[in-house]
Amino acid sequence: MTGLVKTQIIQKMKDKKVCIVGLGYIGLPTMGLIASKGFSLVGVDVDSQKIAALNKGEVYIFEDRLEELIQNAIKNNKIKAQAIPTSASVYMIAVPTPLIAENKSPDIIYVKQAIQNVIPHIKEGDLIIIESTCPIGTTEKMQQLIYEARPQLKDKIFLAYCPERVLPGNILYELENNDRVIGGIDKASTEKAVEFYTCFVKGNLFETNAKTAEMCKLVENASRDVNIAFANELSMISDKAGIDVMELIYLANKHPRVNILQPGIGVGGHCIAIDPWFIASNFPKEGKMIRTAREINDYKTLWTIDKIKDYISKFTEENQKQPTVAFLGLTFKPDVDDIRTSPALFITRQIVEEGYNVIAVEPHIEECKNIKLVSYDEALQKADIVFKLVAHTAFKDKSESNIINLCYV
């Protein structure tokens, strides 16, 4: 696409109002980015605290440049947050798609609710985009839902699935620069969605159908999970065999076609640790490797807890007293404030629940239920054993010799 064509598209689209449903880690930065390109947006969320905060220019997600973008947009009257959707030309759905705990199958209830809430506002020619990670077939189901409620809109709207693949901690950069996969329910929908993304994405926009786009997102995270599981499995085998796994991986990676990832305390966050189940639960016979990788990565966290308990038992035996244990880092990965499905948080909670005296250091969050947060210096001063669980940059210069680094066990 030439620069001129792109400018013409942006001019054409800019007057269109955008309504983003779900103002979390994806919806909020997306709103900030699109507003910075001159669009007017309405953000919708069921969380009244988020709406109130946002309308005051307060940003509840820690991402570089986000506060500045949101505050500029508010100053220029480009964004407004509210509880219910309003009439717009483009609707973007970025609500959660969690797992059902009992059977680990995906729950698309929030996507359904979000679509149901925008249905009364949809007009002929509007574009609806689902960005939430979804099991395959969801976009087609939402198409049915819309047509059942508003049969007169049949074949008169555009609907596409456009998954997100951003890295928390670098979301704004990646929103703008990553390549995107865009899959409409038909060719016209794909093209309409591509036009829209052209206005704020510099990366390449790859066209496909909705089902392939849905699967593409799931496969990306399953692929990461499988590769991490291999490293985690190696680390447990190496531990038993008396081999330094980091040295082993370093040497194996000297092979020109081998690239083993690093092991860790498990896999967290709400993409890699969750999305593979969207495939494994819907394709139980075919998705065996994907399921096994999930199980290995979850098991690695339990294995780490056993290691920690071994250290504690040894201390108790040698010193005839229970130690105060400090954990460094609670988030699911370094340098973010996101504790969802965090193995570090799970480990810390588990040790607290077992009655040990625990303190924790987490520079990216202010409080954490049932866990006593202290400063790094206080942790070093008070703890008998210090375990590093997350390799935050804030801990980098503080490589005290008595810290047990579990980040790459």
Residues within the interface to ligand NAD (CB under 6 A): 21-27, 44-47, 50, 94-97, 110, 113-114, 131-133, 164, 166, 168, 270-271
Question: Going by C-beta distance under 8 Å and a sequence separation of 6 or more, which residues neighbour residue 156?
Answer: 124, 125
Annotate 308-362 with DSSP letters as a single string: HHHHHHHHHHHHSSPPEEEEE--SSSTT----TT-HHHHHHHHHHHTT-EEEEE-
Short-list 167, 191, 198, 190, CA closest to 34: 198
Given the residues 134, 162, 271, 407, the one annotated as active site: 271
Q: How far is the CB of 22 from ligand NAD (least distance, A)?
A: 3
**Closest CB to ligand NAD among residues 170, 405:** 170
CB of 204 to ligand NAD, least distance (A): 18
Least distance CB 146 / ligand NAD (angstroms): 15
Task: Tell me the closest approach of the beta carbon of residue 200 to ligand NAD, in angstroms.
Answer: 17
Shortest distance in whole angstroms from residue 405 CB to ligand NAD: 26
Minimum CB distance to ligand NAD smaller for 73 or for 111: 111
Per the annotation, the verdict on 271 as an active-site residue is yes
Exposure letters 203-242 (e unless 16+ CB within 10 A, then b): eebebbbbbebbbbbbebbbebbbebbebbbbbbebeeee
Q: CA 83 to CA 31: how far, in whole Å?
A: 15
Report the residue number, 304 or 341, with the smaller CB distance to ligand NAD.
Answer: 341
**Would you say 30 and 41 are in contact if contact means Cβ atoms under 8 Å apart?**
no
Kindly tell me which of 164 and 214 has the beta carbon lying closer to ligand NAD: 164
Of these residues, 50, 192, 217, 388, which one is catalytic? 217
Sheet holding 90-93, edge to edge: 79-82, 41-44, 18-21, 90-93, 127-130, 158-161, 180-184, 205-209
Of 97 and 304, the one with the shorter C-beta distance to ligand NAD is 97
Give every CB contact of residue 406 below 8 A, 6+ residues apart in sequence: 265, 304, 307, 308, 387, 388, 389
The residue among 133 and 238 lying less far from ligand NAD, judged by its C-beta, is: 133
Min. distance of Cβ 220 from ligand NAD in angstroms?
Answer: 9
324, 338 contact by CB (below 8 A): no
Please list, in sequence order, all residues whose beta carbon lies within 8 angstroms of the beta carbon of residue 82, skipping any fewer than 6 positions away: 42, 43, 44, 51
* Shortest reach from residue 109's CB to ligand NAD, in Å: 8
Query: Which CB atom, from 95 or from 312, has the smaller least distance to ligand NAD?
Result: 95
d(CA 152, CA 293): 46
Q: Which residue is nearest to ligand NAD (CB)?
A: 24
Residue 16's beta-bridge partner residues?
none
Q: Any residues with CB less than 8 A from the CB of 353 and at least 6 apart, and which?
A: none
363, 339 Cβ separation under 8 angstroms:
no
Show which residues are catalytic: 217, 271
